[in-house]
Amino acid sequence: MKSYKKISFKAILLFLAFLIISPTFGQQQPDKNKKQPTKDQILDMTYEQLLNMPFEDLINLANIVGVSAEELLQMILNKEVTTASKFKETIFDSPLSTSAISAEEIRMSGANTIEEALRLIPGMIVREKTNGNYDVQIRGFDNVPPEGFEYFSENTISLVMIDGIPVYNNVNGGTFWETLPISINQVERIDVVRGPASALYGPNAASGVINIITKQSGNKKINVSFDDRIGNFNTYLGDLYVSSKLSDKFKITFGGKYDYRDRYDDKYYSFLEGNYIPLEDSLRQISGLKYNGVYNQSLNKNEARKVLGANINLLYDLNKDIKFRLSGGIQDSKIQTAFFENLATPFSVRLSNIGFLSFQGNVKNLAATVSYQGGHQNLSEGALSPVLEYKMSNINANLEYNFIFKNLSVRPGVNYQSASYNDSKYEQEQRLAQNNNSVSGLFHGAKTTGLIAGSLRADYKAFDKLRLIAAARIDNYDYIKKNSLSYQLIASYKLNDNNLIRASYAQANRGAFVGDMHANFTNPIMDNSVAGLIPHASIAAYGAYIGPLAALLPKGDTIVTASYNQYYRGSNVSNYDLKLLTINTIELGWRSKLGSKFQVDIEGFMSKAKDFDALVGTVVKADTTFYTIAELTHGVGPANKTPFPKHLQFEDTLFYHNLPLEATQYGVSATVNISVSKKLQFKLFGTWQQTKLKNQINLDQDTVDIIHKNTPAFYGGITAIFAPTPKWNFYLGSYFYSNQVYTRYWRSSATLPATTAKEYATDHLNGKIILDAKISYKFWKDNRVYIQGKNLLFDNHREFGFTDPIKSLILLGVNFNF
Amino acid sequence: MKELKKLKIKPISMKKVQLLICVVGLFCFITVFGQNEKFKALFIYNFTNYIEWPGGSNKTFVIAVIGDSPILGELQAISKIKKVGSLPIEVLKVNSPVEATNAQIVFVPGAKKKSLPEISKALSGKPVLIISDNAQGEFGINFIEIDQKQSFQISKLNIELRKMKVNSALLALGIPVN
């Protein structure tokens, strides 16, 4: 009886508890479980689907799609993102500095490439170098340290991924954007996380992450989308996306693209002339003559971009917990841009033929990815020495498991990466072709780098408002002695439904790349070239000092030849213990929905970067038994030197070494969205920043503290869409940035090292407002014709140091969807 | 600027550029989502499931739209897929209510809402469901936005005066008015 009473007492308690809780279950739980379709999903629905659903459901969908300003804010501004924390969450709830753009925004904006689309995202610095070829940076640290080669101005501290798979190159860690095999039409969304995120994603997520998410098929049995654009500067762009739902579980998608364009100008910047000059003259400035001849014959001075790409994806979703994806693709590209300079001009032609294959599997909380990327690349077509052509193969494998305990999720993971590069074949070919065994390739053989890493991430939600995230990752790199630690500590607190504050502290590092480790080549700046002519008058004057020996001197003018070899050595080649560039960032952020019509997102950040590496030169080693040209020409010099040699020999060596340089960046980014009604929207974003460099060793070997001026102090954008009827769409967008100063190293190749006159090249770049517009008309169903213009303020100033003037581009296009 | 001079295009000063950006910006931050018309058309089709028209010898179910409106295209798309009962849907663009006397539904777009009393009068006593958009007057159904969400007012009285019957489920989905 006693026990009965106990049981009944417990039962009553349980019943009462149930009564108290049941309204919560009855009212809220179903809402939580019932996943609302997104606007894009609804717009993808066919008339048949919409007409066959109950009226109540249709009313619900109508409310989501087109009416509520609150919904608009939710859907347009607070897209669901996955990149910030590997969970699906809205941008508003994202604990990091996160932005995203959707396929619809990309289409309406007229962005021709992924790089262009990134101009629609806060915190991105996107500067065009030649027609369609861009320099893309997140927040900055671009061209740090300044005064390096063009090659080092590339962004090598951001992680770019397609569907979570890294796509950076393993030569220097930069992204060769033209090699991405996917088309712009295939992009479902681009997520950008500003700030370090290596603990979550691995190497190179030091300044941020760009994750390009591709479409995974529509709801129709077959969807075809084709886009074709034609414009001035012989610009032809085409884009095809086909998806087919073969069954409820099996989908297949195909994407293809072509992108042909001419440069805006056919001249080349010549460092020696300090101006833009025709191709022939420019390349003649190279004393070594190694780039002439073949280079001139193969180089099309007008060509900016010739890109082809295709990919195919098989998606098998057994159920919501078990999903597999197999993807493969190929690309073929040739672009002319400023990248691997040749001392005369920053321009070079980059060729790539790359294929990829990847597998992604999700079984409940287990996520596995294996990807392969391999092919052939030439960083500077026509360069005879060094040979910059190689074969490569990269493997990336990742395994993660997400343990979920109530409000805590713990995600351990392991990652393996390997990169193999081999230039033996191309080095040998050039040795035979040039009949010169001293010709060397960039790596001088087969070289590899790789890493094994372990990571752990914990995400805890306390009482629905406070979220705490801690993540750490340890990378064990080949050829780097010390394991690298990256970590993130993040807290976000939802003051209420309309306000979220967040703070984070993170450390992340750049990866270790084949170029930094294994570069091992000779750059024959002068190879038995004419270095000067000694007039007979000088010889005669010299003869006056040496008395009877003067009889041995040449009787007429004497031609002197010289050889000057510059050796480049990676850290592993010179057995140097390289430390990886590390960035530490502290960030504070506030997001607020001020009523249903305004949303503000403000983030303040301070980043410190150290352990930069660069090619550091040794003192020029000259054969001192010979006179310098200056000594010879003036007929004076120490008597112990051989008088009037006919050949001079010089060499110097550049090593990959760490620098004492430290960079500190302070900045604020703000994004303001105003959605007055469904008819009125406003979006404006901008970033102000300042970067200070401490212990910068300039080319005069002085250690200085300077303000870094290559990153614009202010940059941002405005975008707007006007759709007066369902058939017409007008887009107006502006991307702007303030003045910059680009400084780089150059050594006049027409003068010998001992008499080098000038070693800097500086380009003062004006601030610019780039105004783009697009008018689109839907002539039948979902098919459109359009006209779009880029750079419509006709500001032809160049956007990057010593590259092309950027002119206006007008394109006519047609877009079919069926 | 040199290039601009060569092209004989007057260089634009930064102030003008800023002004241009502001003016164009303010003008263009108007975003209209045409999806509304699609959903209104879908709503109209759904209404036919809840309204009963008096029997007749019609071979088609006629939806007339007064004047030009983007909803015409949307209704035509639906007419190719669906029937009302066994009757194929015919969508007509009419300029005056006189042309719509054989219609079962007359849609009065927002741009024509001032003509609603006149249209209502012209169709007086006929079994025509008058659907208006954001209007006031003698409609059967009127699209409105409440808290910027799409909704509709429904007048049982006006519908029944025109000899049609309305299912009470529709009254529950909309906002009944008299």
Residue-level pLDDT at A44: 67
* pLDDT tens, residue by residue, A211-249: 999 988 666 678 888 999 999 999 999 999 998 888 878
Nearest CA in chain B to A39: B35
Q: What is the pLDDT of residue A588?
A: 95
Give me the torsion for CA of A420, A425, A430, A431, rounded to 10°. Answer: 110
Q: Kindly indicate the confidence band of residue B142, based on its pLDDT and cuts at 50, 70 and 90.
A: very high
CATH class of A70-519+570-612+659-817: mainly beta
Chain B residue with CA closest to A64: the answer is B149
Q: How many Cβ atoms sit within 10 Å of the Cβ of residue B153?
A: 18
pLDDT at residue A548 tops 70: no
Identify residue B110 by its one-letter amino acid code.
G
CB atoms within 10 A of CB A48: 11
**Chain segment A519-536, per-residue pLDDT in tens:** 888 877 666 666 556 666
Q: Tokens 């799609």, residue?
A: A65
Report which of A526, A527, A545, A543 is spatially closest to residue A535, judged by C-alpha positions. A543
A11/A432: higher pLDDT: A432
Q: How far apart are the C-alpha atoms of A555 and A549, rounded to whole Å?
A: 13
Q: Does B13 touch chain A (CB under 8 A)?
A: no
Where are the domains positioned within chain A?
A: 1-34, 39-66, 70-519+570-612+659-817, 520-569+617-658
Query: Nearest CA to CA, how far is B165 from chain A (Å)?
Result: 18
CB atoms B4 and A725 under 8 Å: no
* pLDDT in the model for residue A17: 44
B95 in contact with chain A, both atoms CB, cutoff 8 A: no
pLDDT above 90 (res A366):
yes
- From A345, A438, A339, select the one nearest A387 (Cα to Cα): A438
Which one has a higher pLDDT value, A546 or A109?
A109
Strands (E), A570-597: 582-594
A769 closest CB neighbour out of B21, B30, B50: B21
Of chain A, the percentage scoring pLDDT greater than 70 comes to 77
User: Given CB atoms, is A69 within the 8 Å cutoff of chain B?
Assistant: yes
Tokens of A694: 């401490």
Residue ranges of domains in chain B: 35-177
**Which range (A441-450, B18-27, B103-112) has the least confidence?**
B18-27
* Selection from A146-155, A289-298, A689-698 with the highest mean pLDDT: A689-698
All residues at 6 or more sequence positions from A600 whose CB lies less than 8 Å from its CB, including other chains: A590, A591, A592, A594, A670, A671, A672, A673
Answer whether B133 touches A (CB < 8 Å): no
Number of Cα atoms under 13 Å in the Cβ half of residue A226 = 4
Across the interface, whether the CB atoms of B35 and A769 are under 8 A apart is answered no
Main-chain dihedrals φ then ψ at residue A344, nearest 5 degrees: -95, -40
**Chain A contact present for B30, CB below 8 A:** yes
Tokens of A95: 């604990």
From the list B29, B46, B82, the residue facing A681 with the nearest CB is B29
Residue A213 burial (C-beta neighbours within 10 Å; 0-12, 13-18, 19+): buried
CA nearest A441: which of A507, A495, A519, A367? A519
Chain B interface includes A446 (CB < 8 A): no
- Contact residues on chain B for A734, CB-CB shorter than 8 A: 21, 25
Contact A356, A369 (CB under 8 A): no
Residue A564: pLDDT band by 50, 70, 90 thresholds? Answer: confident
* Closest residue in chain A to residue B8, using alpha carbons only: A794
**Is the pLDDT score of A632 beyond 60?**
no
Note whether A771 contacts B: Cβ–Cβ < 8 A: yes
Q: Is the Cα dihedral A333, A337, A338, A340 positive or negative?
A: positive
Percentage of chain A lying above the pLDDT 90 cut: 44
Low-confidence winner among A377-381, A423-427, A430-434, A453-457 (lowest mean pLDDT): A430-434
Per-residue pLDDT, A562: 67
The string of pLDDT tens digits covering residues A471-515 is 999 999 998 888 999 999 999 998 887 889 999 999 999 999 999
Nearest to A732 among B4, B28, B45 (CB): B28
In this complex, the residue of A63, A677, A681 whose CB is nearest that of residue B149 is A63
Question: Residues 459..488 of A with a Cβ closer than 8 Å to B: which?
Answer: none
Structure tokens at B155: 């007048």
pLDDT at residue number A28: 34
User: For tokens 């405005």, what's the residue?
Assistant: A718
Q: Which of A43, A51, A727 is closest, CB to CB, to B81? A: A51
Say if CB A589 and CB A502 are below 8 A apart: yes
Evaluate whether A614 touches A151 at the Cβ level (below 8 Å): no
B23: three-class secondary structure by DSSP: helix
Asked casually if ipTM beats, i.e. exceeds, 0.90, the reply is no
Average pLDDT across chain A, whole number:
81
Q: How far is CA A81 from CA A187, A238, A252, in A?
A: 14, 28, 23
Angle at A379 between CA A758 and CA A696, to 5 degrees: 40
Residue A129 has pLDDT above 80, yes or no: yes
- Going by pLDDT thresholds of 50, 70 and 90, the confidence category of residue A87 is low
In terms of Cα–Cα distance, which of A193, A154, A140 is closest to A666? Answer: A140
What is A159-173 written as a DSSP string? EEEETTEE---TTTS
**pLDDT tens-digit map of A574-599:** 888 899 999 999 999 999 987 666 78
- Residue A610 has a pLDDT of 95
Distance CA A642, CA A602 (A): 70
CA distance A363 to A262: 47
Which pair of tokens denotes residue A577?
Answer: 């213990």
Cis amide leading into B117 (omega within 30): no
DSSP A425-436: HHHHHHHHHHT-
B102 three-class SS: coil
* Confidence band, pLDDT 50/70/90 cuts, at residue A269: confident
Q: Name the closest residue on chain A to residue B144, using Cα atoms.
A: A67
Interchain proximity B42–A677, CB inside 8 Å: no
Per CB-CB distance under 8 Å, the chain B contacts of A679 are 30-32
d(CA A587, CA B128): 63
Are the CB atoms for A581 and A613 separated by under 8 Å?
A: yes
Pairing of strands A662-677, A680-697: antiparallel
Provide the Cα torsion B90, B96, B97, B102; round to 10°: -30
Cα(B163)–Cα(B167) distance, integer angstroms? 13
Whether the per-residue pLDDT at A650 is higher than 90: the answer is no
The 10s digit of each residue's pLDDT in A713-736 is: 999 999 887 777 778 888 889 999
Task: Tell me how far apart the alpha carbons of residues B87 and A81 are, in angstroms, rounded to a whole number.
Answer: 46
Quote the minimal CA–CA distance from A725 to chain B in Å.
6
pLDDT at position A35 is 57
The answer to whether A70 faces chain B, any CB pair under 8 Å, is yes
In sequence order, the 6+-apart residues with CB closer than 8 A to the CB of A454 are A412, A413, A414, A415, A473, A474
Model confidence band, residue B25 (pLDDT cutoffs 50, 70, 90): very low
Q: How far B113 CA lies from chain A's nearest CA (Å)?
A: 18
Q: In the predicted model, is pLDDT for residue A21 greater than 90? A: no
Mean pLDDT is lowest, of A124-138, A472-486, A576-590, A638-652, for A638-652
Quick one: CA torsion of A359, A363, A368, A369, rounded to 10 degrees?
20
* Partners of residue B45 in chain A, C-beta under 8 Å: 51
Mutate to test the interface with B, among A44, A50, A676 (most CBs of B within 10 A): A50
Q: Closest partner residue to A678 among B17, B33, B46, by Cβ?
A: B33
Our CA-based measurement puts residue A807 at a distance from the nearest CA of chain B, in whole angstroms, of 10
What is the dihedral angle through the alpha carbons of A159, A160, A162, A163, rounded to the nearest 10 degrees?
A: 40
Please, which residues bridge with residue A709 across strands? none
Containing B35, the helix (H) or strand (E) segment is helix B35-47
Residue-level length of chain A: 818
Q: Does B172 touch chain A (CB under 8 A)?
A: no
Could you tell me which chain A residue has the CA closest to the CA of B14? A769
pLDDT tens, position by position, A735-768: 999 999 998 876 544 444 443 444 568 899 999 9
The reported pLDDT for the residue numbered A265 is: 92
* Order of strands across the sheet that contains B61-66: B83-84, B87-94, B61-66, B105-108, B129-133, B141-146, B149-155, B175-177
Average confidence (pLDDT) over A131-142: 94
Residue of chain B with shortest Cα separation from A772: B21
- The nearest CA of chain B is from the CA of A343 a distance in Å of 28
- Tell me whether residues B42 and A682 touch, CB distance under 8 A: no
**HSE-up of A391 (CA within 13 Å, CB side)?**
7
Q: Is A437 exposed, middle or buried (0-12, 13-18, 19+ CB in 10 A)?
A: exposed
Q: Which residues of A touch B46 (CB under 8 A)?
A: 55, 58
Mean pLDDT of A51-59: 85
Pairs across A and B, CB distance < 8 A: 124
Distance CA A692, CA A715 (A): 18
Instruction: Please tell me the distance from the alpha carbon of residue A704 to that of residue B141, in angstroms, as a whole number.
Output: 76
Sort A243 into a burial class: Cβ within 10 Å, 0-12 / 13-18 / 19+.
Answer: buried
Does the beta carbon of B150 lie under 8 angstroms from any beta carbon of chain A? yes
Among A47, A55, A67, select the one facing B46 at the smallest CB separation: A55
Interface test with A, best of B8, B12, B22, B32 (most A CBs within 10 A): B32
DSSP letter for A806, please.
-
Based on C-alpha coordinates, what's the Rg of chain B?
22
- What is the Cα–Cα distance from B89 to A160, expressed in whole angstroms? 52
How far, in Å, are A30, A316, A428 from residue A439 at the CA level?
71, 50, 8
Q: Which residues pair with A241 in a beta bridge?
A: A225, A255
With a CB cutoff of 8 Å and minimum separation 6, the contacts of A606 are A585, A586, A587, A664, A665, A666, A667
Minimal CA separation from B121 to chain A, in Å: 30
User: Can you point out the beta strands (E) in A611-759?
Assistant: 613-617, 621-622, 647-658, 662-677, 680-697, 703-708, 714-722, 728-737, 740-745
DSSP string of A109-171? Answer: HT--SHHHHGGGSTTEEEEEEETTEEEEEES--TT-SSSS-GGGGS--SEEEEETTEE---TT
The residue-averaged pLDDT of B27-35 equals 37
Mean predicted confidence (pLDDT) in A90-102:
80
Answer whether A722 sits within 8 Å of B32, measured CB to CB.
yes
**pLDDT of A90 strictly over 60:** yes
User: How confident is the prediction for chain B on average, in pLDDT?
Assistant: 79
pLDDT band, very low/low/confident/very high, at A462 (cuts 50, 70, 90): confident
- In sequence order, what are the beta bridge partners of A771? A734
- Nearest chain B residue (CA) to A769: B17
The CATH code of domain B35-177 reads 3.40.50.2300
Phi first, then psi: give them for residue A729, nearest 5 degrees: -135, 130
Q: Which of residues 562-601 of A touch B (CB under 8 A)?
A: 596
In A215-341, beta strands by DSSP E: 222-231, 235-245, 250-262, 268-270, 275-277, 303-317, 322-338
